Amino acid sequence: MKKLMENIYEAIGETPMLRLSRITNHYGVEGNIFAKLEYLNPGFSKKDRPALQMIEEAKASGELKTGQTVIELTSGNTGTGLSIVCQAKGHPFIACMSEGNSMERARMMRALGAEVIIVPQAKNSVKGQVSGEDLKLVEEMTVKLTKERNAFRADQFNLDSSYRAHLLHTAVEMLEQCDGKIDCFVDIVGSGGTFEGCAEKFKEYNKNIRCYIVEPANAAVYAGKNLINEGRHKVQGCGYAMDLSKVNKELIDGCIQVTDEEVTQMTRDLAKLEGTFVGFSSGANVCAAIQLLKDKEKGKNIVLTLNDSGLKYLSTDLF
């Protein structure tokens, strides 16, 4: 147990690991799914980790000056983590977020002291389904404001510190909690930092650990498939149908696609059966693990993260 803390960001990390035995029994598969409960971080998501790592490394290098404003493009989770870390370390924070993301995230960031800029979606976009085109509009606004405010860009898509958070911490914790007995790792990619950091550490530990990328079926670009329905899907914060700079393709052992319907049902099952109240991307990871246990990874041990809290989706049709 951690001792008395002086700063909230000290609570980031060292999350529990849960065996999803009720899910595997319900779906009638052989093997184990070990889920890292990342939604129990203080910002209710795994993105607290890169938020802390990016700020601490930037301060240590001198790139982030005392009291300087921090800015980032976010679906809401990295922004929440940065809101917490920046407030505690004395940096104003600006979050740029698409209006397609659930508004609980914007409200939470504002409550934590952040300035939140909501960027309108592209003309043909659907609310609640953030596309790569929507993300480009948020990127343009972020670049513009970075220059205008003389801000430090906590760029989760491009800074090495973003994936090092998972290389140095998340994956190491998972190996310790599973006593190294890991056969596979699955991850639905947003910025790609979790996949890159964990896959790199797992293969360093044991080159035979298979690492799978998970994608929405409509936006399965790593699987080499064409976009369906302009790549629209419900899995917020993931599946942007873009080549991610932090993903080393040599680490990818396979790609798995999940549909909106499968993801929604699995996320609801996680709440009812396991008591884990999480969001769409967590359901996507577990969907992929079930697919593998039904087929090529039958009887194996699969690790994954439950990424964020279901409380961030109460305005959607998920629950």
Of the two residues 277 and 136, the one the predictor is more confident about is: 277
Find the catalytic residue in 98, 281, 282, 309. Answer: 281
d(CA 98, CA 181): 40
Burial of 206 (C-beta count, 10 Å sphere; 0-12/13-18/19+): exposed
Domain shared by 36 and 61, yes or no: no
Domain shared by 136 and 53, yes or no: yes
Question: Model pTM greater than 0.85?
Answer: yes
Domain shared by 36 and 174, yes or no: yes
Instruction: Confirm whether 281 is a catalytic residue.
Output: yes
Tokens (6 digits) for 108:
């939470």
Domain shared by 286 and 240, yes or no: yes
Q: Which of 102, 124, 153 is the last residue of a domain?
A: 153
The answer to whether residue 160 is domain-embedded is no
Domain shared by 110 and 225, yes or no: no
Q: Dump pLDDT digits (tens) for 23-41.
A: 999 999 999 999 999 999 9
Among residues 23, 24, 35, the alpha carbon closest in space to that of 308 is found at: 35
Which pLDDT belongs to residue 108?
Answer: 94
Domain shared by 177 and 300, yes or no: yes
Domain shared by 135 and 240, yes or no: no
Percentage, residues of the chain above pLDDT 90: 83
Domain shared by 92 and 196, yes or no: no
The answer to whether residue 165 is domain-embedded is no
Q: Dump pLDDT digits (tens) for 222-237.
A: 999 988 888 888 898 8
CATH number at 100 reads 3.40.50.1100
Domain shared by 197 and 293, yes or no: yes
Which pLDDT belongs to residue 3?
Answer: 86
The answer to whether residue 304 is domain-embedded is yes
Beta strands of the chain (E only): which ranges? 17-19, 32-37, 70-73, 93-98, 115-119, 152-153, 184-188, 210-216, 254-258, 301-306
Q: Dump pLDDT digits (tens) for 186-219.
A: 999 999 999 999 999 999 999 999 999 999 999 8
3-state secondary structure (DSSP) of residue 211 = strand
How many other CB atoms are found less than 10 A from the CB of residue 57? 17
Number of domains making up the chain = 2
Which pLDDT belongs to residue 102?
Answer: 82
Percentage, residues of the chain above pLDDT 70: 100
Burial of 181 (C-beta count, 10 Å sphere; 0-12/13-18/19+): exposed
The answer to whether residue 318 is domain-embedded is no
Tokens (6 digits) for 29:
């598969």
Tokens (6 digits) for 18:
């849960």
Which pLDDT belongs to residue 169?
Answer: 98
Among residues 309, 272, 270, 301, the alpha carbon closest in space to that of 287 is found at: 270
Instruction: Confirm whether 47 is a catalytic residue.
Output: yes
| Domain region containing 184 | 8-40+170-313
Domain shared by 269 and 209, yes or no: yes
Domain shared by 244 and 270, yes or no: yes
Q: What is the DSSP string of 22-54?
A: HHHHHTT--SEEEEEEGGGSTTSBTTHHHHHHH
